[in-house]
Structure 1
Amino acid sequence: MDLSKVSDQITKVLVTEEQINEKVAELAAELDKKYADKDVLLVGVLKGAVMFMADLSRAMQIPVQMDWMAVSSYGSGTVSSGVVRILKDLDADVLGRHVVIVEDIIDSGLTLSWLVGNLEARGAASVEVVALLRKPAAAKVEVNVGLVGFDIPNEFVVGYGLDYAERYRTLKGVAVLSPAVYS
């Protein structure tokens, strides 16, 4: 869906569809170079990374496998509990493989930090994070991120997989959601 369809619900566009397409191609090329001739498993973090994972994997020129995880540290609240639960685990074994976690956005880094440690403990040859978006001002823990598409301000954003109440995921860009929508 075009951002123009929800212009009354957003305050500003941070990343356009064109910028995303260019960045995805750039990130895919970097991953191709880094992981040529390696056994790569892309692990998408549900649900937000679906759009990014689909576009990134199709832009890559090396053979990769894909799998998905869903993890949560929020329970029914809006503030992280600090306890991570696996809602959907991987079907693939990561032992000896090069795992690339594909994330839509890095916010506090708490859940992602736990996920990296979990996959390393399962015996992955390496674990790297590639994220489309990162909010440096929101970081609570240091997460070693291999590749980042865009650093953005610490504002509530939607689009390109990111949602509010399961809406806005299909927007073709990333925009700041108007506080009037969620307050």
Structure 2
Amino acid sequence: MDAKDVSADLKEVLYTKEEIDQRVREMAAQIDRDYEGREVLLVGVLKGACMIMADLSRAMHSHLTMDWMAVSSYGSGTKSSGVVRILKDLDADLLNRHVLIAEDIIDSGLTLSWLKANLESRGPASVEICTLFRKPEAVKVDIDVKYVGMDIPNEFVVGYGLDFAEKYRNLDSVGILAPHVYE
């Protein structure tokens, strides 16, 4: 889906498909360098990470394996509750593996902080975080994120895996959702 298809729903386009593609390629190259000679287990956090997982894995030149988790800390509404539930756990054993968590966005950081601690307790060789987007103004916990694609304003954004009511995930750019859509 192109931004023109939903232009009435967007207040502004923050990053185009081309800008996102370029940044993903840069991140993939850095990850390839950092993990040279080691195999990465790329862990996607459903559902939002579907786009970054696909594009990042295709842009990498190293062997990797993939697995998925689904966690929830958003009861109803748009604010994190801070209580995390695992809805779908990993199939892979993490013992002595190099784990790279792939996220679409970091806002409060609460869920990701819990998730990283949970995965570290499973005996991996390392656990790092890669996110395409980060909202620095919304972060509530100190969390080390090794790979950050782009910082974005603390607004309601959609596209490239980010949704509102399960819509807009397939938008190939990222934009600020117009308030009339969610109010």
TM-score by length of 2: 0.98
Matched residues, percent identical? 66
| 2:182 equivalent to 1:175 | no
Cα distance between partner residues in 2 of 1:161 and 1:5? 16
Task: State the secondary structure of the residue aligned to 1:7.
Answer: helix
Instruction: Give the counterpart letter for 2:57 in structure 1.
Output: S
Cα distance between partner residues in 2 of 1:79 and 1:14? 22
Residue 163 of structure 1 aligns with which residue?
163
Q: State the shift of 1:80 in Å.
A: 2.4
Residue 118 of structure 1 aligns with which residue?
118
Residue 36 of structure 1 aligns with which residue?
36
- Equivalent positions of 1:79-158 (< 5 A) are 79-158=79-158
Instruction: Give the counterpart letter for 1:91 in structure 2.
Output: D
Cα distance between partner residues in 2 of 1:49 and 1:5? 22
Task: State the secondary structure of the residue aligned to 1:93.
Answer: coil
> 5+ residue gaps in structure 2?
none
- When the two chains are superposed, the root-mean-square deviation of aligned CA atoms in Å is 0.8
Cα distance between partner residues in 2 of 1:87 and 1:4? 34
Instruction: Give the counterpart letter for 1:163 in structure 2.
Output: D
For 1:46-99, what per-residue CA distance to the aligned partner results, in whole angstroms no more than 9, with x for missing partners?
000001100000110000000000001123444322211000000001110010
Instruction: Give the counterpart letter for 1:46 in structure 2.
Output: L
Tell me the number of residue pairs that the alignment of Structure 1 and Structure 2 aligns: 183
